[in-house]
């Protein structure tokens, strides 16, 4: 008899991964689908990083790595935080994990007790609320709509904090909306947090390098909250290394120690070869970042331009990451023959089946009017995808 734990029974599968798999399956069956679902750079990992991995194999980096990461990698991360974020950490405040997803899971498991509340601004990345559930915390979802560019206001934060609040999840640049919190906006949130010294901040900065409007600002730069902020980052997005699975945190020492203890019982150190590659990514030539950013910006502008010409699509101009996040509720209630579109899921399935483009329904990110489109694919694919989107939507009346 199947009898999964209660923890698993209430867990939703990752919609981003599900849509990606569905699209890959269709492609494997010979169907020409343009995949705009998963969020990962379409570029190959830079050559210098690949060379470092090959060298590590030849030099027999094949033994267990230290649980929190090789000293050389933690040193490279300390230097990266100093150089790019003006943040001061010591190496023992850094923990390297199997992707930023794993880093966030470690942090939640390390600080959340059953019943503790975690404030999760919506739209959110799919895995936050599910990981909070795994940690037996309680999600307090705070809705940020299109009118505030999908960012929460200080007042909303203030209203959401209770005596049970343990942490706030922040994601800037945001997946799925692509929005950035400006320094002023973060300062205003910090003003609220100053009044609540027991609230921790988990700041997911994995899209730091994909920022079209200026330099990245981390909430950890505010001295008032530095001691209770965990900065989550990794090499997946900035260095086109999603499959290598290297994420990391900079954290208060006791949280870093707790994550390391947990990781020592769950997964051990991240893959040795990938860690050696990550050292080169952080210390080596950084030109890949600017090159990819330029390509992403060009693609974003193209997609926004095409979408602005399609009836009923409401879209913000995302300043970062590689997603556009249109409100497509105009199409709800419309029909293609007898088939009625009632939700973002129906719309995404329609776009996949009739339009041959894979996207992710906003319902997976907490905003049921939206659809997430990842433009991390070739210019050629984007032309095809936008033609198909336009055509498919014309079919809904
Ligand atoms: N945070 C956000 C907001 C993401 O979009 C992703 C991408 N999957 C991650 C974390 C996890 O990244 P990683 O590949 O390093 O696990
Ligand atoms: N972050 C990416 C996305 O949102 C990768 C998939 C995942 O890890 O969920 O599409």
pLDDT in tens, 168-202: 999 999 999 999 999 999 999 999 999 999 999 99
Ligand 1 contacts CB of residue 171 (under 6 A) = yes
Mean pLDDT of the chain: 96
Q: What is the pLDDT of residue 19?
A: 85
Q: Could you give all domains of the chain from N- to C-terminal order, each with its CATH number? A: 6-44+288-394 (3.90.1150.10), 47-283 (3.40.640.10)
C-alpha to C-alpha distance for 309 and 293, rounded to whole angstroms = 25
Q: What is the pLDDT of residue 214?
A: 86
The count of other CB atoms within 10 Å of the CB of residue 31 is 12
Q: Report yes or no: 370 and 325 within 8 Å, Cβ to Cβ.
A: yes
What mean pLDDT is predicted for residues 277-282? 98
Query: Residues with Cβ < 8 Å from 291, sequence gap 6 or more?
Result: none
C-alpha to C-alpha distance for 303 and 308, rounded to whole angstroms = 9
3-state SS class at 351? helix
How do residues 232-246 score in pLDDT, each as one tens digit? 999 999 999 999 999
**pLDDT of 30 above 90:** yes
Q: How many CA atoms lie within 13 A of 197 on its CB side?
A: 3
149 CA distance to ligand 2 middle (Å): 21
Angle of helix 272-283 versus helix 71-85 axis, rounded to 10? 30
Q: What is the pLDDT of residue 133?
A: 96
How deeply is 308 buried, as exposed, middle or buried, from its count of CB atoms within 10 A (0-12, 13-18, 19+)?
Answer: exposed
How do residues 64-118 score in pLDDT, each as one tens digit? 999 999 999 999 999 999 999 999 999 999 999 999 999 999 999 999 999 999 9
**pLDDT of 254 above 90:** yes
Ligand 1 contacts CB of residue 206 (under 6 A) = yes
What mean pLDDT is predicted for residues 215-222? 96
Torsion (CA) 142, 146, 147, 148 in degrees, nearest 10: 50
Mutate to test the pocket of ligand 1, among 211, 236, 246 (most ligand atoms within 8 A of CB): 236
Q: What is the pLDDT of residue 10?
A: 87
Residue of 240, 243, 249 lying closest to 274 (CA atoms): 243
Q: What is the pLDDT of residue 387?
A: 98
Residue with CA closest to ligand 2 atom 5: 39
Residue with CA closest to ligand 2 atom 9: 16
**pLDDT of 22 above 90:** no
Q: What is the pLDDT of residue 201?
A: 98
Q: What is the pLDDT of residue 82?
A: 98
DSSP 167: E
Say which ligand is closest to the CA of 125.
1
The number of the ligand 2 atom at minimal distance from the alpha carbon of 38 is: 10
Mutate to test the pocket of ligand 2, among 11, 97, 125 (most ligand atoms within 8 A of CB): 125
What mean pLDDT is predicted for residues 249-260? 98
DSSP 59: T
223 CA distance to ligand 2 middle (Å): 31
C-alpha to C-alpha distance for 125 and 171, rounded to whole angstroms = 8
Greatest mean pLDDT among 19-23, 211-215, 319-323 lies in 319-323
Say which ligand is closest to the CA of 98.
1
Task: Give 338's pLDDT tier (boundaries 50, 70, 90).
Answer: confident
Q: Report yes or no: 57 and 393 within 8 Å, Cβ to Cβ.
A: no
What mean pLDDT is predicted for residues 251-264? 98
Q: What is the pLDDT of residue 301?
A: 98
- For 146-181, b/e burial (b = at least 16 CB within 10 A) is beebbbbeeebbeebbeeebbbbbbbbbbbbbbbbb
Angle of helix 344-353 versus helix 379-394 axis, rounded to 10? 110
**pLDDT of 17 above 90:** no
115 CA distance to ligand 1 middle (Å): 25
Tokens of 218: 């981390």
Q: Which residues contact ligand 2 via a Cβ below 6 A?
A: 14, 16-17, 38-40, 101, 126-127, 175
């Amino acid at each position: 008899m199947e009898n999964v734990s209660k923890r698993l029974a209430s867990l939703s599968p990752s919609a981003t991964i599900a849509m990606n798999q569905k699209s890959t399956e269709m492609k494997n069956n010979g169907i020409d689908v343009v995949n705009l679902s998963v969020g990962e750079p379409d570029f190959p990992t830079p050559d210098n990083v690949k060379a470092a991995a090959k060298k590590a194999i030849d030099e027999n980096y094949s033994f267990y790595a230290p649980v929190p990461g090789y000293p050389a990698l933690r040193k490279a991360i300390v230097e990266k935080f100093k150089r790019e974020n003006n943040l001061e950490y010591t190496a023992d405040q850094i923990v390297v994990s199997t992707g930023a997803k794993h880093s966030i899971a470690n942090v939640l498991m390390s600080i959340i007790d059953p019943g503790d509340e975690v404030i999760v601004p919506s739209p959110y990345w799919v895995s936050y609320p599910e990981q909070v559930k795994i940690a037996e915390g309680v999600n307090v979802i705070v809705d940020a709509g299109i009118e505030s560019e999908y960012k929460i206001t200080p007042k909303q934060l203030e209203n959401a904090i209770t005596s049970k609040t343990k942490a706030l999840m922040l994601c800037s640049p945001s997946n799925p909306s692509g929005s950035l919190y400006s320094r002023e906006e973060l300062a205003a949130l910090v003003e609220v947090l100053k009044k609540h010294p027991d609230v921790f901040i988990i700041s997911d900065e994995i899209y730091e390098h994909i920022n079209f409007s200026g330099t990245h600002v981390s909430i950890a730069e505010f001295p008032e909250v530095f001691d209770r902020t965990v900065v989550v980052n990794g090499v997946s997005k900035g260095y086109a290394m999603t499959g290598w699975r290297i994420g990391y945190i900079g954290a208060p020492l006791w949280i870093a120690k707790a994550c390391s203890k947990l990781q020592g019982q769950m997964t051990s150190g991240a893959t040795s070869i990938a860690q050696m590659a990550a050292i080169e990514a952080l210390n080596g030539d950084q030109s890949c970042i600017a090159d990819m950013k330029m390509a992403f910006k060009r693609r974003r502008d193209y997609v926004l331009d095409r979408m602005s010409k399609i009836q009923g699509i409401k879209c913000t101009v995302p300043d970062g990451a590689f997603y556009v996040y249109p409100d497509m509720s105009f199409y709800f209630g419309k029909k293609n023959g007898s088939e009625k579109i009632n939700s973002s899921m129906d719309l995404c399935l329609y776009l996949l089946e009739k339009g041959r483009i894979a996207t992710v329904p906003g319902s997976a990110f907490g905003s049921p009017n939206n659809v997430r489109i990842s433009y991390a694919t070739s210019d050629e694919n984007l032309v095809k995808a936008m033609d198909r989107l336009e055509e498919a939507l014309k079919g809904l009346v």
